Amino acid sequence: MENAQILHQIMTSMLLGTFAGVLGFISVGFILSRILKRNDIADFLWGLGFIAIAMLHFFEAGPLDFRATLVLGLTLLWGLRLSLHLGIRTFGSQGEDIRYANWRKDWGKSEPLMALLKVFALQGMIMGIIALPLAWVLRMPSQALTPWDFIGTAAFILGFVFEALSDAQLAEFKKKPENKGKVMNQGLWALSRHPNYFGEVLIWWGLFLISLPLPYGLFTVLSPLLITLLLTKVSGVPMLEKVLAAKGEDFRKYVQATPSFFPFRLRSVFTFAIIIVALGALDFLWLGVVMRDFYREETAAVARIAAGQWHVLPWAAILVYFFIALGVQFFAVRASKLESGFRGALLGLCAYGIYEFTNLALVANWPWKMALADLLWGPVLCSFAAVTGSWHLHHPPKLSRPLTRAVS
């Protein structure tokens, strides 16, 4: 009974804090839209609205645990970057964003009321739902860190890089007069027609995963589900593609050549899986068969070994191979197997070198022999994985060629 009362108090304060932030967004946004005579000010205030919600919960919650401090910092990073980017775009343009300008024409004399309801009030309500993971982490009682915190943070970082880099690439592209009327198909925009939206969605799935271990944290899945639905089916991709269709044949070719949302094709997913299998299989032979006794002796003082057996954290081991495979596919896999092998070896040398030299610098009695063996093994492992990935991605077996044409 006591726990239910505490939870009720937390939920009540959570709702009040979020409502205050949403109300501030609606009020400030609408007033500024009347002064500036442009409703696209809502875009600029979007990131700041989440910051306001996060800060209201921060001031109410008191001292924060590590998870809450992490989420607050990530929210500030994302919100400030997004608002700065959209502020430069909004105030640096000659007129109102075409979407808002078209709505203004359609609404006619009822524009003030429609702007209040359909721009600011509606976006405010959406903001309140999407902000669920922030409020949950900042208000719920402290809990020990779990694997979900690592996975969620990694997803957030990847999404943030995608969003920030693609925004910067597009802004740079638009600065050049010779690109006027052309389709942006370079950098991350060669991987996806909407890499910034993909990054935004990944950010909120990451924040959801961080909030998942908390009591009733599964409820916050409403946040990433809503932002995914909006950006892929409602106001994001569909609306923007209608505008871009005016670019004619260039955009039609771009649509045929580039995935709409996810920055990869089906064959790339298969290649990624094959790279992980190649890494795992070769590393198992090295660590579990060829050099088993060597690594057990060298790591006896620092590794998870009991009764002569390894006791690894499965989720952490999976993430090791996931991130190595991600680096190999993105940085090393090329059409030429020779170039792929070279790039893979260089990536392995850098990755294993950073790991081993960091440990030698900071960890007492870190095994020198093992560090040297790893420094030799990293380039071999990653080079093999890169060549395997190149073979599958660019030189598929003849039987799979018809399927490749169908899905690529």
For 362-375, how does the pLDDT look when each residue is reduced to its tens digit (9 = 90+)? 998 899 999 999 99
**For the chain, what's the residue count?**
408
Residue 367, C-beta contacts closer than 8 angstroms, at least 6 positions apart: 298, 299, 302
Predicted pLDDT at 408 = 34
Predicted pLDDT at 50 = 96
CA-based radius of gyration for the chain: 25
Q: Is the pLDDT of residue 2 over 60?
A: no
Structure token pair of residue 66: 């590590």
Q: Which of 87-96, 252-261, 348-357 is the most confident on average?
A: 348-357
**Measured on CA atoms in the order 111, 113, 116, 122, is the torsion positive or negative?**
negative
Band (12; pLDDT cuts 50, 70, 90): confident
Lowest mean pLDDT among 7-11, 296-300, 330-334: 7-11
Considering only the C-alpha atoms of the chain, give the largest distance between any 2 of them, rounded to a whole number of Å.
81
Structure token pair of residue 216: 């009733």
Lowest mean pLDDT among 181-190, 242-251, 312-321: 242-251
Q: What is the mean pLDDT of residues 58-83?
A: 93
Band (299; pLDDT cuts 50, 70, 90): confident
Q: How many helices (H) and strands (E) does the chain have?
A: 18, 2
Torsion angle (degrees, nearest 10) of CA 17, 20, 25, 30 = 170
For 209-232, how does the pLDDT look when each residue is reduced to its tens digit (9 = 90+)? 999 999 899 999 999 999 999 999
**Of 104 and 400, the one with more pLDDT:** 104
- The residue type of 180 is K
SS3 46: helix
> Rounded to the nearest 5 degrees, what angle is found at the Cα of 401, between the Cα atoms of 400 and 402?
95
pTM: predicted TM-score of the whole model, two decimal places = 0.89
Predicted pLDDT at 281 = 96
Q: What is the mean pLDDT of residues 306-327?
A: 88
Q: How far is 317 from 324, CA to CA, in rounded Å?
A: 11
For 150-209, how does the pLDDT look when each residue is reduced to its tens digit (9 = 90+)? 999 999 999 999 999 999 999 999 899 998 888 999 999 999 999 999 999 999 999 999
Q: Is the pLDDT of residue 303 over 90?
A: no
Q: Is the pLDDT of residue 121 over 70?
A: yes
Report the run of H or E that residue 124 belongs to, with start and end.
helix 122-130
Q: How far is 334 from 352, CA to CA, in rounded Å?
A: 21
Q: How far is 303 from 378, CA to CA, in rounded Å?
A: 19
For 343-360, how does the pLDDT look when each residue is reduced to its tens digit (9 = 90+)? 999 999 999 999 999 999
Predicted pLDDT at 329 = 95
Q: Is the pLDDT of residue 342 over 90?
A: yes
195 and 264 Cβ atoms separated by less than 8 Å = no
Band (404; pLDDT cuts 50, 70, 90): very low
Q: Which of left, alpha, beta for 96 (phi over 0: left; psi -120 to 50: alpha)?
A: beta
User: In this prediction, what percent of the chain has a pLDDT beyond 90?
Assistant: 69
For residue 84, CA distances in Å to 56, 100, 131 come to 21, 20, 20
Predicted pLDDT at 402 = 45
Band (401; pLDDT cuts 50, 70, 90): very low
Predicted pLDDT at 52 = 95
Q: What is the mean pLDDT of residues 301-306?
A: 76
Average pLDDT for the chain: 90
Predicted pLDDT at 403 = 42
Q: What is the mean pLDDT of residues 21-28?
A: 94
Q: What is the mean pLDDT of residues 332-345?
A: 94
Q: What is the mean pLDDT of residues 244-271?
A: 89
For 38-50, how does the pLDDT look when each residue is reduced to its tens digit (9 = 90+)? 999 999 999 999 9
